Structure 1
Amino acid sequence: MSIVPPEKQSIKISLIGIVTQFGINLTLGFGTLVLFSFLRPRNVIVYSPKQFAPEDKQPPKIEENKLWGWVKPVLEANEKSLVNEIGLDAVMFIRFIKLCQNILLCLLVFGACVIMPINIFGTYRDNNYDMPSKDNPLQILSVSYLEQVS
């Protein structure tokens, strides 16, 4: 429940706001990746592989001096070797994350190809096949221009 009464709330979708949020999230994500790549070679104790494990249980060697040296071994690792090196629980967690990623991508395609055209058509139809407003192109995707059925 909102503290501000509904008549005083200003609901406005703006393209600048969406692009700003996308830029902030992209910057934070890339900054975190760069920070990890910078800190990993300098904190050997924290990011070191299993040193006391047998040879067959150790993860692939990572080049310590390179900033992005950890990317290639991560991308080349297969599930069979990962089960032996990090355990079945960790591999199942990685599989679950991949499943969530694939579901998100499927829903993104479904929303962009099915839901958005239906919403755009409904907005056009309710406005007698005319664009609602030229000042904000995202308003065509909003429900604020749909007529209320009583």
Structure 2
Amino acid sequence: MDKAQTLEQLSAAKKAHIKWVNRAKALVGGLPVEKDAIPVDSTDCQFGQWFYGEGQKLNAIPGMDRLSTIETLHFTLHDTYLKIFKLYFGEMNRSFFSKLFNMKPKISDSDKELAKEYFQQLEGVSKQLLDEIGRLERRLNAMSAESFEEK
């Protein structure tokens, strides 16, 4: 495990998370967003792919208690987005013709307001997640390259 490479991967994963949140914001803001552009499952987004791939190597470093907090926040983030996803893409809102012609469902004004509330929750969780990632980055930066590579 190389310190510089790990920090670079973590930075890229963090940027991918920010893009993910911005796509959710665009959706809630009324911009056209494809159903698959914002992965619902926490292991399908780019951050999740890093976290459950290369990021798991960090577990070999003693004192990496931030990882469990990051995981919990990441799950909460995706659970919150699932509520938004169901409002915009849920099968229950679609007519026979919209399904037949693969048209997007109409979303009511009350559902739009509810989606905005869910997005506010999502933003709060995202901020907490980014704070935890920042703490992890500072912790990794404080380690010497040699001690990091010995792990």
Task: Flag the structure with larger Rg.
Answer: 1
**Higher relative contact order by CA 8 Å / sep ≥ 6: 1 or 2?**
2
Q: TM-score, normalised by structure 2?
A: 0.27
